[in-house]
Amino acid sequence: MIQFVFSSKFWYGRFVMALPIFALGMFTIPSSSESQVTATQSQFLPAVTSINPQRVQAQANFFAADVDKNEQLSLSEFMTFINLNAEHNLGQAASIRQFRMYKRAFKKADANGDGFVTKQEITAQAKE
């Protein structure tokens, strides 16, 4: 049986997708002894099989780095985000950290130049 446990972290953002749920451990996957799946539960199974672990980890790192929970990262929060990503070998974060290129990466990721990096800006940067 799939259990859902809703918390304030789940409902925090308007753009929260199904993937952060897995990263935050908000529901459990059945063990092999619980093989019966209802029609309602089966609609969630494709999400389970299409998880990108790196994306899940990057989203979890974003939430961990966003200290003030405003869904955007200041330069200091961005540095924390890069360090967390580097620890998990995500993208080019290890190179950014090694060469202390935080400000340059921040400026590049901050597409609209408002002094903050949003999830959308990070996603767009990752696709380039």
Mean pLDDT computed over every residue of the chain:
75
- Is residue 65 a contact partner of residue 77, using CB atoms and an 8 Å limit? yes
Number of domains in the chain: 2
Same domain, 16 and 69: no
Instruction: List the domain range (segments joined by +) for residue 39.
Output: 1-50
**Residue-wise pLDDT tens digits, 29-60:** 444 444 444 445 445 545 555 789 999 999 99
CATH number of the structural domain spanning residue 62: 1.10.238.10
The pLDDT assigned to 119 comes to 94
Cβ density class 28-51: b for 16+ within 10 Å, e for less: eeeeeeeeeeeeeeeeeeeeeeee
pLDDT at residue 62 greater than cutoff 80:
yes
- For 123, the 3-state DSSP assignment is helix
Count of positions (residues) in the chain: 128
Contacts of residue 77, defined as CB under 8 A and 6 or more positions apart, other chains included, come to: 65, 66, 67, 68
